Structures are given as C-alpha cells and as structure tokens.
Amino acid sequence: MRKQKPRPLLNAYHRKQNALSAAHAAAQPPMSTDQWLKQYADLRRQKYEYLQQNVVQTDPVAGMIQWSMWSHAPDGGLGHGIHYHDSLRTDDNLVAFIRGFAWKRDPDAIVQGYYIRPDDITTAKVMADLKQQIAELLAANTQHYYPETWITERFLACGNC
C-alpha cells in the first residue's frame, strides 16, 4: 500500500488538539464508569436545557418531527444535529436545527426540531416551506447535510457530527 503524503496544516492542528486533550485528561483524576456516565448524562442535560432556553412555542408532532420555535437562535454549541442556514440573512443566519441523528437508525423516531420566529426576511411561508423540505429529506433518510449542501438555492444544510 502506498503511504499517503501528510497534510501539514491539518496534521499540525490535530496534533495540537490531541496534545491539549491529552494534557487535560492527564490533569483530571481517574473516573469510574459510573462517574463517567453521570458526567455524560449531566452534559446531555445541559445541552438540552441550552436548546430549550429560548423556546417560546412547541408545535404538536407533525409526521416525524416535533418543532419548537425559538425567540432567537442560540449563539452556538447546539450539539449533534443538522444546522439550516438562510443565505439571505446577513447576521445570525441559522434558522433551523434538527437535534441528533436518531432518525437515521429508527424511521419511527420522533425528531426534535427548532426554528426561529418568522420575520421580514424568513417569513412564515418561507419557514413552512423549509420545514416541509426538511421533513421530506429526513423521511427519505437522505445524507443531505455532509459536506455542507445547498438543499435549495437559499438554504444550506450543515451536519454537526
């Protein structure tokens, strides 16, 4: 097998990140499995609470998605899922988020979706069309988010895995 030529920038970045992670892990006292599971559950709960903090309305389940409306999109740190961005927005172009990837393994899973409150740029009609498009993509179980993919001329989907 032929050896691949290293990519210096990418490798340097990953070496630095790995070194920082290893140093951080070495500084922490060893954890039991129960402690690790508790810490993991706490982080998942914090992430869920962060996603829920700006929710002003939750719609009934429509198909496989339960949509919740944000008063405004959070600044970041949404966790695993798919981000949907509106190219017509100059600032804060995140308009929707699908939490997790359970729908890939289980077609009967109820997916939690979030969207911003419609405004002058992303109107209620545009948002309804986007939500319908997302529902169709998830129902078809298509890989529409990686690499970044334009699902329409206006909306970009990005996976955060």
What is the pLDDT of the chain when averaged over all its residues? Answer: 83
Rounded Cα gap, residues 130 and 154, in angstroms: 10
Write down the pLDDT at residue 80. Answer: 86
Q: Is residue 69 domain-resident?
A: yes
Count: domains in the chain: 1
Query: Average pLDDT, stretch 4-23?
Result: 62
Which tokens is 144 given?
């529409």
Q: Is residue 129 domain-resident?
A: yes
Query: Which among 88, 91, 82 is positioned nearest to 134, based on CA atoms?
Result: 82
List alpha helices for 31-120, DSSP H. Answer: 33-52, 102-105
Q: Tens of pLDDT along 90-128?
A: 878 899 999 988 888 887 888 999 999 999 999 999 999
In DSSP notation, 123-157 reads -HHHHHHHHHHHHHHHHTT---SSS-EESSSSEEE
Peptide bond into 74 cis (omega under 30): no
Q: Is residue 152 domain-resident?
A: yes
* pTM greater than the 0.85 cutoff: no
Q: Is residue 49 domain-resident?
A: no
Q: Is residue 137 domain-resident?
A: yes
Q: Is residue 9 domain-resident?
A: no
- In the predicted model, is pLDDT for residue 1 greater than 70? no
Q: Is residue 50 domain-resident?
A: no
Rounded Cα gap, residues 27 and 48, in angstroms: 28
Q: Is residue 13 domain-resident?
A: no
Q: Tell me which residue range forms the domain holding 77.
A: 55-161
